[in-house]
Amino acid sequence: MRADLAVFLTLGPLVLGGVIALIADAFSARRLAGAVALVGLVVATASSAWSASTAPVGSAWGVLRTGGPFSSVAAVIAGAGVLSIVGGWELFARGRWGGTLAALVAFSAAGSIAVATSRDITMLLISLEITAVCAYALVAATGTRRSSEAAMKYVIQGAIATGFFLIGLAALVAAFIPSGDLNGLSAVFARSGLYSVAMTGIVALLAALVFKAGAAPFHSWAPDVYENAAPELTAFLATGPKVAALTALTIVLELVASDTTASTVSVHGTTAIALIVAVMAVASVTIGSLVALRQRSYTRMLAYAGIAQVGYALIGASTLINPAAAVFFVSTYALATVGTFLAAAAFRQVDPGWDGSIAGLAGMGRKAPALCGALALLLMSLAGIPPLLGFWGKLVVFGGVLLQASTAFEAGLTMVGWMSAIAASVGIVGSIVSLGYYGAVLRALYLTPVATVESAHPVEIDADTTARGGAIAVVIVVLIAVAVVLLGVLPLLWGVTPLVAPFVPH
Shared domain for 145 and 110, answered yes or no, is: no
Residue at a domain's end among 117, 145, 175: 117
What pLDDT does residue 460 have?
47
d(CA 379, CA 368) in angstroms, rounded, equals: 16
Q: What H or E segment, with its residue span, contains residue 60?
A: strand 58-60
Shared domain for 285 and 306, answered yes or no, is: yes
What pLDDT does residue 457 have?
46
Task: Identify the CA nearest to 92 among candidates 42, 138, 140.
Answer: 138
Shared domain for 212 and 104, answered yes or no, is: no
Cα angle vertex 208, ends 132, 265, to 5°?
155
Shared domain for 125 and 235, answered yes or no, is: yes
Shared domain for 479 and 493, answered yes or no, is: yes
Task: Identify the CA nearest to 450 among candidates 367, 345, 350, 346.
Answer: 367
Q: pTM score, two decimals?
A: 0.94
Residue at a domain's end among 117, 137, 159: 117
Shared domain for 200 and 332, answered yes or no, is: yes
Count of all residues that appear for the chain in the document: 506
Shared domain for 25 and 139, answered yes or no, is: no
Shared domain for 375 and 450, answered yes or no, is: yes
Shared domain for 258 and 285, answered yes or no, is: yes
Residue 82 lies in domain: 1-117
What pLDDT does residue 261 have?
66
Shared domain for 105 and 133, answered yes or no, is: no
Shared domain for 113 and 139, answered yes or no, is: no
What pLDDT does residue 506 have?
62
Task: Identify the CA nearest to 20 among candidates 36, 9, 4, 35.
Answer: 36
Residue at a domain's end among 117, 149, 169: 117
What pLDDT does residue 393 have?
95
What pLDDT does residue 268 have?
82
Please give the DSSP secondary-structure letter assigned to residue 459.
P
- Name the amino acid, one letter, at 150: A
Shared domain for 62 and 80, answered yes or no, is: yes
CA terminus-to-terminus distance, the chain: 15
Return the bridge partners of 60, or none: 64
Q: For the chain, list residues with pLDDT below 50.
A: 451-469
d(CA 354, CA 379) in angstroms, rounded, equals: 20
Task: Give the total number of structural domains in the chain.
Answer: 2
